[in-house]
Structure 1
Amino acid sequence: MRVDQFCMDAWTGRVDPEADSARWHQRVQPLADASQPGLALLGFACDEGVQRNHGRIGAAGGPVAIRKALANLAWHRDAPAYDAGDIACDDGDLEAAQTRLAYAVRALLDAGHQPLVLGGGHEVAYGSWSGLAGHLGKQPAPRIGIINFDAHFDLRDPAHVRSSGTPFSQIADQCVARDWPFRYACLGISRASNTRALFTRAAELDVWVREDRDISESTLEALGRELDAFANDCDALYLTLDIDVLPACEAPGVSAPAARGVAISLLEPLLLRLKASGKVRLIDVAELNPLHDIDNRTARAAARLIHVLTSSD
């Protein structure tokens, strides 16, 4: 993919004089310059799904905001990182944008990279998963585990309208069509923000659910062991982070701020366990809305989570 210059322009920041003091902006290269596989950052500049779901639009600006927040963070990676540009949806054709995203994700995986998709609304999930499914589809019935840290199930019925609220229902339908198992874990669910119908749908699909109130310092170790067991029963993991899982005080710049949420200090240990599994093939970050951010607080939180997941030490 060609990387638009405006994407690379986001990679600026402080330069320190001491040795071994690099920051992300000094190490991220255009994908065209890749000489070996690495982390590939791919933007999905889209909030058509959020608009269809009657949320606060602005998530299309998420990819650039995350790049800018990442740019000045200290570099703690051994492997390279590349910018693969943006997939944009500026004509209202969400389905076509998701198809382009799926093609780009598959191409990155086929080339040996680990894609990290920067959303965009959570409609990004259907395109992301479709790319991973295309990559793994040569093997019979791959066991793809979806782990979604999110205040919402996003299991609405896509027969009404496809939106940021329907991606995991769409994925479930695709699994049925392909005769693949549907393995979905959703952690951080807000009971106040999900109807009884959505809880029923989750039960019908055998979704592993942990509500925001179930995640605390006292439950972290047990929850971590459950995550380990979930990962061990999968061939590959797709990790999707909806930033609205964080409390509104940590992430005000989202489509639907969380009154309670799950603090970043509780998320990090769980993410580190998933990282240690060695099975995470694809990551995306959704719902950052810079139009409603305060002092770049949400962008910084998203960048911190990416740093945790991608650093070597």
Structure 2
Amino acid sequence: MSADSDTHDTPPIDMTAWQGRVDPEPDSPRWHQCVQPWTAHATPGATLLGFASDAGVKRNQGRPGAADGPLAIRRALANLAWHRQGPAYDAGTVVCEGDALEDAQQRLGERVAETLDAGHFPVVLGGGHEIAFGSWQGLARHLEAQGSKAPRVGIINLDAHFDLRDPVHVRSSGTPFAQIVDQCEMHDWPFRYACLGVSRASNTRALFQRAEDLGVLVREDREFTAATFDAIVRDVERFVARCEHVYLTIDLDVLPAAEAPGVSAPAARGVSLALLEPLIEIIRDSGKLRLADIAELNPEHDIDSRTAKVAARLVHQLTLTG
């Protein structure tokens, strides 16, 4: 399907979230003053795309509310200071109607591929972590269109959970990377996956065994300390070095509940933003990052918009260059 043929599936871009303070000093722009509506012929830049879905969270027996995440992130981002050199766009939001998750993921994949084909760096705002399978479909579609036969795509997931549950009976926010495994096997592509910040208390022995069988790079939340951080950095650098392309997905429940209370499953321990940000910057500056998404913001349970502010800061960091 061509990019033009699926444009009608996406509602008109609503820019009303982009409001905020205007400073009188020269050279003091903020995000809301700089973000433009995306068009198919826009100069390549950072492109925000929402995914309003918590169908996968509901299927995974989590607490719903993540469908309102994209709007909350935009509102938190709107008033942040602008430090980019290149343009940024809002490409609207793909909405999951009811339980029609698979349809929404397919439409998300089409929009991601469209932005990648046009030379943009897409950052997808969720939404439950079912976002990952839609994001992946978009990247895979883009790489296939470029003629890549067996691209070495590295998936880096900052998350308290593996999300490798068996998708045979139900596809949910807990199954996206198992679904990606199936897709890679179908296409004879290598599966390269790093899951950083995993909580042993929140993942069964079966999931740890599945991760081991798949050769996943695993670093648990309790391993993230000042003393071990340099070793984790080296692990990430080696992982990225073996890849041609990198897809970064951030589940906000990787953070401590005090930093990110507004998620489907708040973390008892988690990994602090102070330790995650340097890793994100290394990945961003590698020259291989093609796509990023942020998942599981649940504004209904957010306290003082803490989680939305963290998500907005992450978007700011991810798009700081360019």
In 1, Cα distance between the equivalents of 2:11 and 2:135?
21
In 1, Cα distance between the equivalents of 2:104 and 2:122?
17
* 1:233 aligned residue: 242
In 1, Cα distance between the equivalents of 2:153 and 2:40?
31
* 2:39 aligned residue: 32
* 2:4 aligned residue: none
- Candidates 252, 276, 281, aligned match of 2:285: 276
Q: Secondary structure at the match of 1:26?
A: helix
**Where does structure 2 lack aligned partners over 5 or more consecutive residues?**
1-6
Contact between 2:49 and 2:93, CA under 8 Å: does it hold in 1? yes
Q: Which amino acid aligns with 1:203?
A: E
Task: Measure how far apart 1:194 and its partner are.
Answer: 0.3
RMSD: 1.3
In 1, Cα distance between the equivalents of 2:244 and 2:12?
37
Greater CA deviation, 179-188 or 215-224? 215-224
Q: Deviations over 1:156-214 (max 9, x none)?
A: 00001000000000000100110000000000000000000110111111111000001
Q: Secondary structure at the match of 1:278?
A: coil
Spell out the pairing of 1:116-265 with structure 2 (5 A cutoff).
116-137=123-144, 138-265=147-274
In 1, Cα distance between the equivalents of 2:277 and 2:179?
28
In 2, Cα distance between the equivalents of 1:249 and 1:270?
21
Name the % identity. 64
Task: Measure how far apart 1:91 and its partner are.
Answer: 2.7
Contact between 1:7 and 1:64, CA under 8 Å: does it hold in 2? no
* 2:3 aligned residue: none
Spell out the pairing of 1:39-54 with structure 2 (5 A cutoff).
39-54=46-61
* 1:60 aligned residue: 67
In 2, Cα distance between the equivalents of 1:38 and 1:302?
19
Q: Which amino acid aligns with 1:51?
A: K
Q: Deviations over 1:210-246 (max 9, x none)?
A: 0000111112222111111111110100000000000
**Where does structure 1 lack aligned partners over 5 or more consecutive residues?**
none
In 1, Cα distance between the equivalents of 2:207 and 2:55?
22
Query: TM (normalized to structure 2)?
Result: 0.95
In 1, Cα distance between the equivalents of 2:17 and 2:304?
17
Q: Secondary structure at the match of 2:228?
A: helix
In 1, Cα distance between the equivalents of 2:198 and 2:117?
33
In 1, Cα distance between the equivalents of 2:172 and 2:46?
28
Query: TM (normalized to structure 1)?
Result: 0.98
